[in-house]
Amino acid sequence: MTKTAWVFPGQGSQALGMGTDLLDIPTAKEKFAQAREILGWSVTEICQNEEAKLSQTLYTQPILYVVESILTDLIRERGHQPDLVAGHSLGEYIALYVAGVFDWSAGLHLVKRRAELMDIAVGGMMAALMNFDREQLETVIANTPNVVLANDNSPAQVVISGTPEAVKTVMSQVKAKRAIPLKVSGAFHSHLMATAAAEFQTILDTVEFQPATVPVLSNVEPVATVDATILKQRLSQQITGSVRWREISLQLPVNSIEKVIEIGPGNVLTGLIKRTIPDLILTNVRNAAELPN
């Protein structure tokens, strides 16, 4: 049997119309109804009609959790199971749900609160850098206060996060093919999110984590584990910690993974994995039409 990892994208992968083709499936329709009760608003209405809201953190994160988890449940209904799971930032919550660490509604309550806290975080800045000198980047970040490597996505793509002044300093000093400021409200995955992280911890403490049914590669510590205590500790560090996706990609062959399925809109993660580990089989399940038999 081919050892397979399922991976789940985070904020930035959303697209207008996502999830609406699932409304014809009774179990999916039921989940959307449950989500409306928890969230107080309709995932499908925003996905169909409200592009501005779809790109707002407050809505984006719960919507991605709901749509990606529904797609995953439909894959599992067809008899498929992963050998390992991982998710990028918000995507880690779907990975933990799939691994049985918490139930679906508990996960959505966590994501709802995470989105609320991150949505009101202001005063920070993030920027993506493509095709850069990594050694130079690390040196400049080390010598510039209030900026960190927030997302180490692939050998050729990273995101930095911090105060606007510090981020602009790094952008001006590091030679890169492209450097793009991101449309986000705050400096996600940096020490500037410490207040949000502390508030989030109060709800995280109320959720009991179970041992994972399959190994999970966490963002802040990409070493596979099924230990509930370790997984919770890693998740508690995630809002302020770096997303070490390049290292997650490198861990896939270490864990004997031969195939990766990205579940959710877009193909960001399979693209990043391909740049880091080119020999894996990579597939996507973005909608109902791409569900396996």
Q: How far apart are the C-alpha atoms of 11 and 46, rounded to whole Å?
A: 15
Residue 81 near residue 213 (C-beta atoms within 8 A): no
Task: State whether residue 278 is helix, strand or coil.
Answer: coil
Q: Is 80 one of the annotated active-site residues of the chain?
A: no
Would you tell me how many other CB atoms lie within 10 Å of the CB of residue 54? Answer: 20
- Of the listed 13, 69, 161, 189, which one is catalytic? 189
Residue 189 appears among annotated catalytic residues: yes
Return d(Cα 3, Cα 76) in angstroms, integer. 16
Given the residues 13, 69, 88, 89, the one annotated as active site? 89
Which helix (H) or strand (E) segment holds residue 158: the answer is: strand 157-162
β-bridge pairing 125-132 and 84-87: unpaired
Give the count of beta carbons closer than 10 Å to the beta carbon of residue 201.
Answer: 11
How many Cβ atoms from other residues are within 10 Å of residue 175's Cβ?
11
Catalytic positions, written as ranges: 89, 189
